[in-house]
A and B are shown apart, each in its own frame.
Chain A
Amino acid sequence: MFRYFKSTLILLMIFMLFGCSLSSSGEEEKSQKELTLLFNFPTNTIDPQLDSNYTMVRAGVGETLVKISEKLEMEPWLAEEWESKDGQHWTFKIREGITFHNGKKVDAHAVKESLERAIKISPAVKAALKIRKMEADGQLLTIQTEEVFPQFPSELVHPYTAIIDVTEKDFDQKPIGTGPFKVSSFEPGVALKVERFDEYWDGKAKLDKATFAFNEDANARLMALQSGDADIIFRPPVENLEQLKEEKVKVESVPGLRTHQLLFNMDSPYMKDENVRKAIDTLIDRKEIVEHILNGHAVEAKGPFLTDFPFAPSYEEKKRGIEVARQYFTQAGFQVENGKLTKDGKIVQFKVLTYSSRPELPLIVQILQSKAKELGIEMTIQQVENIDEYLAANDDWDFATYSSLTAPRGDAAYFLNATYMPNGALNYANMNHPELISVINQLNKTVEVNERNKLAREAAKIIDKEMLHSFIVHPNIIVAYRDGVKNWVTSKSEYYMLTKDLDVDK
């Protein structure tokens, strides 16, 4: 028996010695400028074309041809400029003087090969880019799309299209990009470690090294910040934000590009009526949702897009509340009998879908349910595991909570096409609105930016006028960081995190 105890003790000692030796080497490196960012979604690959977490771009390793600025406008990145006269034939001029992390020059040929690989391995990139053919000549890349596709540059904002050197094959563990940082090591689901790339085309990064780590648990992220294991954390627990401020931690809360919304099933006999949709919309107390469910970390939504976007129209203030809802229901032919809402003598009951992966959505429905009850409306709430699968396969619901990125790349066309075109993948409500379809079709053929914005505004106005969707709030992106962190920018798109300007006190 003693023998086993002895072996166990020896094993423990080895463990401890190993731990001590590694920690002391870690202390030696403290003299360098180093920072740890803790993100809330883990990734198992950093292959930019497969990683739905965009780690390579977020960690400053990879860059795309086009980027979205903080003003939510498209701007050149690896591509210096681009042009197209017909929206189908494009010429991109690749910036001179850029090298990959392995020292190879970035020219149109390298970009073409990178995009070709992305299209080959990712059905999403293939669907998004719709490229028919590409030709490379020096720094000029000419691209022909399968159809007139004016929003093509905005699709190149997507981190899936980050440019990498395809001649280096370790895409999964050590992709070779062009950003201010190069990959040191990657542990799937744990962390990506990067170090400064001294030949970066836009000037050296201020940090020597950085770690882009992952933890899905909000409390664990908070404690990592408090213990000094992390310098920047994404989405700390909202209930602890006041406590963080007392601990000299900076907290930033900026509206993101996501919109929480209600989908109305156009096949439901009740929801076909515009007045019913408007009645439900007026029952949504957005102010209460922002203040009490999201603790003030959201802005009330007026339409699908954040009002900062040039394609977001100005909306007239709407009258809201139970009395307004009652009027709409009356116009739709509903009555209140014995305290219950009825139509044609039958008690009305709405079936509402929600899901828990965004915890605020079931709470929003509960608030709506309590308001509706005051009007005598019965609502059955069903919580489903996978909302997309349920909506696609079933037709037995009246309205549903949903959440989506409405303009993730600075263009309205993605949301409008996916949601309102009859064959759109997100058209779960079976929307088929000829006037709106006509505007979207026009938008899909229009190249000139101002004209596109005008058409997108027109589409948003139709959606609002007929209440095809009810948009509730744009939740904020909340980031907490230690006092010594400098030049941190909470990007609305959440695409850019470790930048060349990010700095930290030694």
Chain B
Amino acid sequence: MIHIAKRLIEFMLFLLLLSFISFIFIKLAPGDPVKQMLHVDEVSVTKEQIEALRDELKFNEPLYIQYWYWLKRFFEFDLGHSYITKQPVLSELLSRFPATITLTCASLIVMILISVPLGTLSALYKNKWVDHMSRLFALVGSSIPSFWLGLLFIELFAVKLGILPSMGKGTAKHIILPSLTLGIAMSAVYVRLLRSSLLEGLNEDYVKAARARGISEKRIFLFHVFRRSLIPVITIFGMSLGSLISGTVVIEVLFAYPGIGKMVVDAIIRRDYPVIQGYVLFITILIVMINIFVDICYRYLNPEIRLKGVERR
């Protein structure tokens, strides 16, 4: 119990520190949302009106005071409202989250469906044609820019074959092309990672011992080698999941499938401070949760880690 409380306090302090750093960075970037709010590019306003709005929004106060105002609201569980849409930040984030999580999950399914069979086959048939093909796939997959791959898919599946929508949101068909684009780009890395991890595992002493004990190759591979080989893959996966959630802007734009990534890029361009700040906290919490999940996976995949934990207790 004390351990959990300690971890929670640590986490809160980390959140506070991060929120302060991000607040300072955002504010140090030149510009603010005032001109956007007043639409100076189409509405005749004066410099005095710009300054008056800056005063009203307290942008002329010292940075630490501005941070204090934000922090007070944060402790009341209020992330504020977007300066541009006037919507509560939390509801903006939550409204975009389902699209992001759907795209992330669908891309992961594609990634798993490609990288697990291909990585496994290329390890089992090392230096055979499957292995060469997987190497070529990894090379091409990681070299092709995702927006270009997306355009190729649109050209093939929407324009030429006419079987999938080129863009938009709404049906399951709409998720296929964006997830295929992202999934292929991701699997290029995982195929090679899984292959090398499996090859390493296949040469371990315990595999030789298992063979000597007469355990079937199928059982050795599935329950010993494959399971253990997933650990480095899961580690990289945990790290890339965070960037996948927030960093799919190019794909979101290309397929008009807006998620959290696109929202924050727009917010940064418009200097919509409350949205940026809310996003930083939201993603931090999410990444911490992903890391906890990855830790749990470790324990399941490698009993050694679980047992060490028991020993320490």
Contact = CB atoms under 8 A, between A and B. Distances in A.
Nearest to A388: B35
Contact of A386 (B31, B162, B169, B262): B31
Contacts of A414: 42-44
Contact of A189 (B154, B155, B171, B258): B258
Interface in A221-239: 223-224, 226-229
Interface string A447-474: 0000000000000000000000000000
Given A123-B53, A418-B44, A220 B166 contact: yes
A425 B35 contact: yes
**Chain B interface residue bracket vs A:** 35 or more
Contact of A18 (B47, B172, B263): B172
A223 B49 contact: no
Contact of B43 (A121, A127, A213, A217): A127
Contacts of B96: 188
A223 B44 contact: no
B255 A15 contact: no
A315 interface: no
A123 B34 CA distance: 9
A421 to B, nearest CB: 8
A408 interface: yes
A229 B113 contact: no
Contacts of B165: 227, 229
A227 B165 CA distance: 8
B87 A190 contact: no
A44 B85 contact: yes
Interface string A408-449: 100001100110010111110000000000000000000000
Q: B-side binding surface: helix, strand, loop or mixed?
A: helix
Nearest to B36: A52
Nearest to B258: A189
Contacts of A427: 47
B41 A404 contact: yes
B172 A22 contact: yes
A116 interface: no
Given A8-B113, A220-B254, A220-B255, A424 B47 contact: yes
Contacts of A227: 154, 158-159, 162, 165-166
A32 interface: no
Contacts of A167: none
A140 to B, nearest CB: 27
Interface in B216-268: 222, 226, 253-258, 262-263, 266
Contact of B30 (A127, A228, A390): A390
A215 B257 CA distance: 9
A193 to B, nearest CB: 10
A418 B86 CA distance: 26
Give the one of A123, A421, A427 with max B CB within 10 A: A123
Contacts of B113: 8
Interface string B2-45: 00000000000000000000000000001100011111111111
Nearest to B223: A1
Interface in B255-291: 255-258, 262-263, 266
B285 to A, nearest CB: 23
A224 B37 CA distance: 32
A123 B167 contact: no
Contacts of B222: 1
Nearest to A128: B43
Interface string B35-67: 111111111111111100100000000000000
A405 interface: yes
B256 A220 contact: yes
A425 B159 contact: no
Nearest to A408: B42
Contacts of B53: 123
A220 B154 contact: yes
A297 B165 CA distance: 30
A217 B253 contact: yes
A393 B258 contact: no
Interface string B293-307: 000000000000000
Given A18-B171, A52-B36, A220-B255, 11 more contacts: A1-B222, A45-B85, A123-B53, A127-B44, A172-B85, A188-B258, A393-B30, A414-B43, A418-B44, A425-B38, A426-B41
A-B pairs with lowest CB-CB distance, top 3:
A189-B258, A19-B172, A389-B31
18 contacts: A1-B222, A8-B109, A19-B171, A42-B258, A50-B86, A52-B84, A124-B39, A187-B169, A220-B166, A224-B158, A224-B166, A229-B166, A386-B30, A389-B30, A405-B42, A413-B44, A417-B44, A418-B40
Interface of B: 30-31, 35-50, 53, 84-87, 92, 95-96, 106, 109, 112-113, 147, 151, 154-155, 158-159, 162, 165-173, 175-176, 222, 226, 253-258, 262-263, 266
